[in-house]
Amino acid sequence: MQRSRTPTVEDVARAAGVSTATVSRALNKPDTVRAALRAKVLATVERLGYMAHAGARAMSLRRSGTVGVIVPTIDNAIFAHGLQAFQQRMAQAGQVVLLAFSNYDASQEEAQALALLARGVDALALTGLSQRPSLMALLSQRGLPWVHTGAFPSPTGAACVGFRNRETVVRAVRYLLDLGHRRIGMLAGIAAGNDRAADRIDGVRKALRAAQLTLPPSLLVQSPYTLSAAREGTRALLAAEPAPTALVCGNDVLAWGAMLECQAQGIDVPGTLSVIGFDDLELSRHWHPALTTMHVPTERMWRLAADYLIERLNGRLDHAVQQEVDVELLVRGSTAPPRRSRAR
């Protein structure tokens, strides 16, 4: 039985009535081809089942067609949602995304970045600003486009798309202060190796100092981003004397754990303890009571990061750009004035 012949670029060009150069541009540089002509070529590619040879494409463009992304974990839905938006945008530009994890460890992040570079990635997207200086120096030396996500601004002058974590948490604490809370605790992520978690802790301290209050050691617990760890941390905070009337959580997962522990102990939220999260994951609006939280436009942030790298790879941008996204306080049912304030 004779095997069917694999279609070539010449077959696509002949069937579409265009040159092979036009086929190549439609596949590799779609923005340079008129929409109608590009659609005709792509329809022919699909009909014939043509698949461009990755090695030949890389040689012609002097690029691999791959972009590396390093995130701490995908256990947290905030990263999974962001990665999906990033990958979709990259796919539209004909880029393949290679994913690696750092587990909030700068040495592991550097090792993963080196592995991605060894595989010829054309650009990198990184999380936060906790990278080792040696990695930043290497990327700069190689002239490789990269972008930091989830933090703003980048002190290195490198490209970033994100928000001011410290100032965002200041807004959350001011809201609780305006409600009348004065004993405010924090269930934070682990700050070591995580600039976002560290900045959020600093934000709580800054807002309390401005109100002539403090964050004593008994009202600060750093916790892994898991429900069980969050419940354990909440138990420690509730045992403080005096106990807090409000709790700022480093992300929504920690807030969920705090609310579960309150439920287990028969502590009313928000009657006895107000709880505020950070991220605005989908489950937070369906929780009972619904979680007051800081809404981070995750998908938009990662799409902007992808757009920046695409612009750099296509030669339409030759310098680092820093882009700030807005974070919004969403007031829901998990926060209220403390009981004493309401009784006045």
Report the Cα–Cα distance between both ends of the chain, in Å, rounded. 90
pLDDT per position as a tens digit, 38-78: 889 888 887 887 766 544 454 444 567 899 999 999 888 89
d(CA 196, CA 202): 10
d(CA 230, CA 257): 5
d(CA 329, CA 175): 9
Q: Which span out of 9-13, 102-106, 154-158 was modeled with the highest average pLDDT? A: 102-106
Residues counted in the chain: 344
What is residue 242's DSSP assignment?
S
pLDDT per position as a tens digit, 186-207: 999 999 999 999 999 999 999 9
At 38, the amino acid letter reads R
DSSP-derived 3-state class of residue 287: coil
* Residue-range domain boundaries for the chain: 9-61, 66-163+298-313, 165-295+329-343
227-260 core/surface letters (b: 16 or more CB in 10 A; e: else): eebbbebbeebbebeebbbbbbbbbbbbbbbbbb
**What residues does 133 pair with on adjacent strands?**
none
d(CA 241, CA 256): 23
Whole-model pTM: value is: 0.81
Alpha helices, DSSP H, located in 239-297: 252-265
Per CATH, 9-61 and 66-163+298-313 having the same topology is answered no
pLDDT per position as a tens digit, 250-308: 999 999 999 999 999 999 999 999 999 999 999 999 999 999 999 999 999 999 999 99
d(CA 292, CA 217): 24
The single residue listed with the structure tokens 């080792």 is: 132
| Percent of residues, the chain, with pLDDT higher than 70 | 93
- Which CATH topology does 165-295+329-343 take? Rossmann fold (3.40.50)
**Bond into 242 cis (ω within 30):** yes
Strands 220-223, 322-324: pairing is: unpaired
d(CA 205, CA 49): 60
d(CA 97, CA 88): 9
* Helix%, strand%, coil% for the chain, nearest 5: 50, 15, 35
pLDDT of residue 324: 97
DSSP-derived 3-state class of residue 76: coil
Strands 322-324, 66-71: pairing is: unpaired
Per-residue tokens: 285:
């609006």
pLDDT of residue 284: 97
Per-residue tokens: 230:
């969050």
- Residues 9-61, CATH architecture: Orthogonal Bundle (1.10)
Mean pLDDT, the chain, as a whole number?
91
CA atoms within 13 A on the CB side of 45: 16
66-163+298-313 classified as CATH 3.40.50.2300: yes
Residue 81: CB atoms within 10 Å: 18
pLDDT per position as a tens digit, 8-40: 888 889 999 998 888 888 887 777 888 888 889
The CA distances from residue 142 to 8, 126, 127, 157, 174, in Å, are 35, 16, 20, 16, 44
